[in-house]
Structure 1
Amino acid sequence: MTADGPKNALPPLRLPRRTRRLLCWAFLLLVAAVVADLLTGPGTTLSPVLAVAPMLAGATTRSARVPLFAGAVATAAVVLLELSNSSLPDSVHLTALITVLAATLASAANVVLVSARERELTQVRTVAEAAQRALLRPPPERLGPLRVAVRYAAAAAEARIGGDLYEVVDTPHGIRILLGDVQGHGLPAVETAADVLGTFREAARTEPDLARVAERLDAALAGRAVNERFATAFLLDVERSGGRAGFVNCGHPHPLLRRAGRVTELAPPQHAPPLGLLGLIGGHYRAGGFDPLPGDLLLLYTDGVSEARNAADRFYPLARRLAGLPATSPGAVLDALLADVGDWVGVAGPTDDAALLALRWEH
């Protein structure tokens, strides 16, 4: 015993408003059942109805003490009704008592199991978020002539990490940027994304030719002995002086270039297969290029955005919506687009993960 109370005393129970309201209804049910039982007189009983009270009490709480307390009160009420209604057979009273006790224990056990499951899910989410932070590092907001912003939106709250990937690397050869989408979902897609990012971070610093970087990524995926997957990707090479920018598109949706309120697709010089599939057709990746101007905004995205559908099964009109956005900073543009996509798909929510990366040339 300490000055503050028993050493092993339970912490005070603080219930959410919804739980308190439901608990009040449970006790009102108890009172109503007892009153109705007394008014009906001998020969009938409503005591089995009292089993609903602990079930109702445990419906929205994560503390087993709540249904146990409600069950104790219900049990006391059953005993009270037994004493006041001795004309019924003992088997009826015993059945009501067993029913209330069974409902109490079942409700308490359910609360314990749900709480344990929620704790486990919270731990899994924490690990997934830590893995995502290690895998998808946030880029700097300003790098050379660029202002940079990135957003990653999971299709479900439980799926904090997936096959969409991005990276921004400052190298001796320029600012190298990657955005891609691995085939499939789940841990195999995450494993493939990790391989792509690891290869890109090394090759971007050592290979002066951006097309050669893409071929290194293709070889890394094609050489995997297990978990064979491909990935679409867009690679960008930006000069620190703000001059010509080069790019390689490996089967990825074409980025959108917004210039003076007009949006155009940044099409490659030739169509190329996704990473991991170049060997099926032979040849090499070819780099294209364009001359950015101050104020240009380039949007890189995965198909979780461009293929988002509304209730009428229509695709999200990304180019048209991007052209109409008043926002100019990359972060504000991405926030506005994600909010707009959410409104487009409605209550059904997105069906695929989405990654967006926006670049704005400041000079």
Structure 2
Amino acid sequence: MKKIFYLFLLLPIVTLFVSCEKDNGSIDINPTSEDEYYQVSFDFGGDIFVEQKQLGNTNTTTTEMKKSPTLASASASDIYGINVYYDKEKDGTPNDVYAYGVFDNVGYMNIKLLSGHKYSFTCTLVKNGKNDLYYGQAYRQSYPGFCMPFLTSKNIPSMLENKFITGSVQLSGIKNGATHTKDIASPNSSNANSYANVDRYYGETTNYTPVDGGKVLINLKRTVFGAKFIIEGVREGTLTASCGSFWNKTTNTDVTEAEKIYSFPNVYSSWMENPITEKLNLSFKSSIGSQWDLASTKDIVFKRNMLTTVRIVVSPDLASASVSFSEESMDEDNFIDLEINSDGLIDTPVTPNNN
């Protein structure tokens, strides 16, 4: 009877262990008799520069940054998330999940790929992600990890393991702008920030045929926009202004805010060079009479890697003027000068002020 008691006590424990293994989503991807494994590594181009060098005769790989006035350099605080797909049925369409991984070092990005298949790779990079993103326990997990954009398809935070995990699980937020930043105390599916103040990159490589010792090159684009707001001419009243869901201000004095970068709500769409249009809402409440109250809206277009500076001038006596603005790189200012008049319309001076 004593042996029977211990047997029944052990059985639930073994069952629980097996269930945990299944929750990880890891499966074996075995080659057929005609297939073999090829090990490949990764490199990145586009808007970021990463160079790898072997040290001496060891197998250690370090990441060395190239200096460039226009390209961002990799750093130890950056976080990469990569999904790997393949054509399981060898039909030339690599849509089946093969592996995923979260890394902070390009030198550890090595994976064994089955020959005879086509592969595609999607990657997102969060610059300074170790400092800007939430890291801790979340989604009922007992271990700490990163949430969006590195949450897995099983709704589980990702650990920074610097290795690929083969199987049916992938990173669900790579193409999405939703981000759990460090200021979010308890991440969940409804409180991720779609316009996070993080420096985000995205890239893809598809139809890759592996060769032993090959290298997968993924060109990354910076998928953020810049915005700066200047408010002038607020007298004898209060101006309430907002732009989309990422900026709002209520003031009774002039304001010049520092420029900020925002991740696009749809990172993939930004990578495809699709801009977003956000509505600027302005409302002026006069302290000397309701006849001076003003309200109006204006559509503002934000483009990838562009800084837009919006100047709002409260000036009831100004005549109407046309709207004009120029677009320059993130290192320059893209000014939109807006004036809110007594007729409730938003105007701009004919010649933009590029101070």
Give the TM-score of the pair, scaled to structure 1: 0.26
Which protein is bigger by CA-based radius of gyration? 1
Structure number having the greater strand percentage = 2
Structure number having the greater helix percentage = 1
